[in-house]
Every structure is written in C-alpha cells, then in structure tokens.
Amino acid sequence: MSGSTHPIPFSMPMFRGFVPERIRPWIYVFFAITFQFSGGLYLGTLNQMMGETTLMREDLLMCLYANLAGMAIYFPLLFRMKFRFTNKTLLCASATGVLLCNLLAPHITFLPLLWLVRFIEGMCKIQGTFECMSNIQLWMSPTRDFTVFFPVLHIVILGSMQLSDLLATYLMYYYHWDYMQLFISGIMMIDLLVLTVCTRHFRMFKKLPLFGIDWLGAILWAMLLLETAYLFNYGDWYDWWNSPVIRQLSVVIFVTFFFCVWRMFTIRHPYYEPKMWTYRHLLPVFILITLVEMFFAAEHVLEEVYLEEVMHYGAMTSVQLDWPALAGVLTGCIFAYWWMHIRHFNYLRLIIVGLGGIVCYLSGSYLLISTDIHISQLYLPIFCRSFAYAVLSATFMTCLEEIMSFQHFFQALSVFNMLHMVMGGVVGAAIYTRGLAYYIPDNIAHYGAAIDNVVSSRMSVPIQHSMETFMSQMMEISVKQIYGWTAYACIFLCLLFLLYDAPIRKELKQIPNWQKIRKMIAESFAYKKE
C-alpha cells in the first residue's frame, strides 16, 4: 500500500495552544534522543562495573542483549499500541518505564531479574522513540518518503548511541559509573514534566481494541531470542558443548523454536504470520544483515582486546575514538539520504558502498595495528566502520520495506532487528572470542619456541616485564590475524553481492497514512474473527 503522493499538512494537535508550533517537532526530537540515550549497558563503563560489582563481563553484556531483545521483539505491537492509547499516554508510560528501570537496575543483584528489567527498558525505549518519530514524519517528509525517514531516524538513533557512550564514560571518570543511570532518570523526569504541562490527550481515530494479539507467541519468541543470546554469550565461559549447561540449553532452544514455529502455523493470528516469510528477497536480506553484523562485532571483541590488552589504554583514552565514530554516523546517514533521495541512485548498490566501508575498516585495522602507533591513526578505520554501519542500517530498512507490503513490514522489521541488534553481534563476538582462544596459544607456542632461555636470563629487564611484553605481542599478532581473515571474508561477500541483483522500483513507496494503517489492521482482524 502506498500513501498519497500529495503533501499532507503537518500538525501536532496533541500540544496545548501555548506551545509555539515551530518548536513542537523539536520537542519530540529531544524526547527521541533522550529515549535512545538509555541503554542496557554502556561499554565505556564496563571495566569499572566489573571491578566494583561481582558481575562478570558476560553478565553485563547480557544486560545489553536483553535491552536490544526487548526493542526487537516489540516492533509488531507498536501500531497496535498507537491505535489503542493516546500519544501522551504512550510517551508518559514509556518515560516512566525507562525511569523506573534505570533507578532499579543498579541495585539488583539477581541476574534474571536484572535482565528482565533491561528487557522491559528496551520495550519502553522503542515505544517512546517510535511515538516521537512517527508523529513528526510529515515534518521530515510531507510525502511520507522512507528514503528521508530512515536516514533521519538513524541520525537520531545511532548519533544518540555514540553520545550516550561518551557521556557515560565522562560521568564514570569524573564521578561514578551509576551516574549515567541517574542522568537518564533525571532526563526522563524532565520529559514527564514537559508532557504533563505541554501536551494533552488527543485521539485522531476511534480506539482500536487490543484483540487478536498473540501474547504467548511474543513470549515464546522473546525466550528463543534470549536463550540463543545466552548460549553464544556464555559459550566460551562454559567451554561450549563440553559443558552440560550448554548441551541442555541447546535442547531447550530447539524445543522453544519448535513451539514458536508450531504456534505460528496453527493459530489464526500468530505473532509472526507465515505469509511474512514468503516474500521473494526477504531471506537474502536477513542473511546479509546477519553476516554484516558479524563483521561489525569485531568492534566489541578485537578492538577492545587491542586497546585494553595490547595498548593498555584507559577509558578516557579509548573514548577519543567515539568522536570519529560519531562523525562517521552523521556522514553515513547524510550520504544515504543524498544517494537514495536526492540522486535517486539504485539503493541496492548503496549496499556495496557500505560493504566497501567495512572492508576499509577491517583492512585498515589489519595494516595499522601495532604497539608503535598513536591513537589518532585509528580515526580513519573507526570513521569507515561507523560510516558503513549508518549507510547499511538505513539502506537495509529501505530495502526491507520495498520488497514487502506494509501489512507485514513491522513483523519483518522485528525479525530483522533480532538479527541486526542481537543475533549477528552475539554470534560474531562468539566467533572472534573463539578465534582469539585458538590463535593466542598457537602463537605463544610458535614464537615462544624461538626464545633463548639463556639470553633471557641475562637480560637487564625483569623476566616478568619481558613476559608481559611477549604476551602483548602475541595478542597483537592474533588480533591482526583475525582482522585479516575477516577482511578476506568481507571482500568475498562484497564480490558475491555484486553478482546478486533484484528488481528495483523506480518510484519508491511512501509510508501509508495512519487512517489507512488503522483500517488495514482492523479489517485483517475482523476477517480472522469470522
């Protein structure tokens, strides 16, 4: 379905009359940024949190994956909530949820409860962001054009992610790591105050009841996502399938997956409809985004090992890399907008540009990694990484919308984000961690055999210092090797994608208006009730 090609007047009637019309959309932009500032984990504070709590690295990373899983699983419910509750109700509930989660999380020691809180925070976070951005879409694009909406959306999302990590690191350094949680709580209070004073309950359409939602299916898919994330996140710590925990969890994942699929094909209105999987080019998009996220996972494993274990950079030194990352995000989003909307170029070819950016990042890291470089020499690879991530994120969403009807778009977007935000990253991180576990001992055995024990005993420097230097060098070599193999894999994928082609619409679809979407949802469920 496509919306009208004629511009629709933009208005925000949910605001009270004394709020100037010019600043109304900017207030919602501010709200969206504040929601995206909230996260399950801020990587810049990871080491200090590990040092001050009894939690392992895997425990804290699971908080991040739970937060992202909450965001991904909630997508099919966004429109149902929008047509059931008023904008003010949804934003107030989202802000309150994020506020409570950030106040409670630092004091929770029971891990399953902590992960549940972060999962709920993710749902509130995406609900608040969606409400803000959906209500200003006509302000961004009077014709509801996705090639405008998605690049702007990712400026808000990805830019906020980079800024939040910067802020969390600075707050940790000058105060304490939990000050970021207090900051988010404070800014949510500001959001609630503005919403209370400046907005009113306004309903554009008749209330659509929450009938026909497969709540059990949503729970099952969420369990499947979290179980899989747990397996790959803790796999190395448990020594993979040598551990009975991993073997038992694998059986549980298989059983959960069976019930998810069985329910999808046996009830009238499942959480993910079978028809959603029948679109011709959907599977290639899902596979590609998973592989791309696996490449990007090098940021959270290889980069961290190099910066912390080889270069021994502190948090305030490593945070300098967030600035070129932020510049890359902004440049990538603007470039995607220019490519798809201004120039109307084939946006599938834009994926090649994004893959080329990943190749530049991986190859640059491979060539530059050394103990003799200055941190500023890493700015360009980091810029390329963020540029590629922004380009591909906006482009993949546009491609996804173009290959399917809007009726199934948000269901597909949910699965897409499961792979995009959770599965690709956690599987890639597991592969890199396993690679390091292989290459580091292998290099130690290879290069250690060349050490002359007699010469070593005569060295003027202490043997402990010599061994520390040696281990750093082995980590450096191992990281370079994995970066090299990953670069080869990405180049192969890039060349393979050049052979893939798909029919592209010359006239891009627009976002349907709210009236059509509501009518479509109501009719579909009315049909199913017969």
Six token digits for residue 376: 């500023």
**Structural domain contains residue 413:** yes
- Residue 460 confidence (pLDDT): 54
Mean pLDDT of 484-505: 78
Rg, Å, the chain Cα set: 24
Same domain, 222 and 286: no
Whether the per-residue pLDDT at 503 is higher than 60: the answer is no
- Residue 221 confidence (pLDDT): 94
**Structural domain contains residue 149:** yes
**Structural domain contains residue 326:** yes
> 105 near 42, Cβ under 8 Å?
no
**Structural domain contains residue 223:** yes
Least confident of 101-110, 192-201, 495-504: 495-504
Same domain, 233 and 322: no
DSSP 479-492: HHHHHHHHHHHHHH
Whether the per-residue pLDDT at 528 is higher than 50: the answer is no
Q: Each residue of 162-204: pLDDT tens digit?
A: 898 888 888 888 888 888 889 999 999 999 999 999 988 887 7
Same domain, 345 and 392: yes
Higher pLDDT, 226 or 372: 226
Q: Average pLDDT of the chain? A: 85
Same domain, 177 and 252: no
- pTM recorded for the entire structure: 0.88
- Residue 380 confidence (pLDDT): 93
Amino acid (1-letter code) at residue 7? P
**Structural domain contains residue 171:** yes
Same domain, 29 and 152: yes
Six token digits for residue 383: 């810029």
Same domain, 162 and 259: no
Among 201, 233, 266, the domain boundary falls at 266
Least confident of 205-214, 322-331, 360-369: 205-214
Same domain, 339 and 240: no
Q: How many CB atoms lie within 10 A of CB 511?
A: 23
513: three-class secondary structure by DSSP = coil
Q: How far is CA 359 from the centre of its chain?
A: 20
108: which residues sit within 8 A by CB, 6+ positions away?
114, 117
Give the residue numbers spanning the domain of 307: 280-447+461-499
Same domain, 91 and 227: no
Mean pLDDT of 334-341: 91
- What's the total number of domains in the chain? 3
Same domain, 261 and 392: no
Same domain, 337 and 355: yes
Six token digits for residue 425: 């990253």
Same domain, 400 and 426: yes
Whether the per-residue pLDDT at 66 is higher than 90: the answer is yes
Whether the per-residue pLDDT at 458 is higher than 70: the answer is no
pLDDT band of 254, cuts 50, 70, 90: very high
Mean pLDDT of 461-475: 70
**Structural domain contains residue 456:** no
Q: Each residue of 8-36: pLDDT tens digit?
A: 567 788 888 898 988 989 999 999 999 99
Q: Is 185 exposed, middle or buried (0-12, 13-18, 19+ CB in 10 A)?
A: middle
Q: To the nearest whole percent, how much of the chain has pLDDT over 90?
A: 35
Give the closest residue to 45 by CA, choosing from 157, 229, 230, 175: 175
Whether the per-residue pLDDT at 466 is higher than 80: the answer is no
CATH (domain of 162): 1.20.1250.20
Give the closest residue to 524 by CA, choosing from 221, 205, 276: 276
Per mean pLDDT, which of 3-7, 85-89, 521-525 is the most reliable?
A: 85-89
- Residue 476 confidence (pLDDT): 85
Higher pLDDT, 137 or 529: 137
Angstrom distance (rounded) from CA 82 to CA 264? 24
**Structural domain contains residue 3:** no
Whether the per-residue pLDDT at 527 is higher than 50: the answer is no
Q: Each residue of 431-451: pLDDT tens digit?
A: 999 998 888 888 888 776 666
> 484 near 435, Cβ under 8 Å?
no
Among 175, 192, 210, the domain boundary falls at 210
**Structural domain contains residue 492:** yes
Measured at the CA of 220, the angle between CA 219 and CA 224, to 5 degrees, comes to 115
Whether the per-residue pLDDT at 514 is higher than 60: the answer is no
Q: Each residue of 389-412: pLDDT tens digit?
A: 999 999 998 888 888 887 888 888
CA atoms within 13 A on the CB side of 247: 4
Same domain, 146 and 100: yes
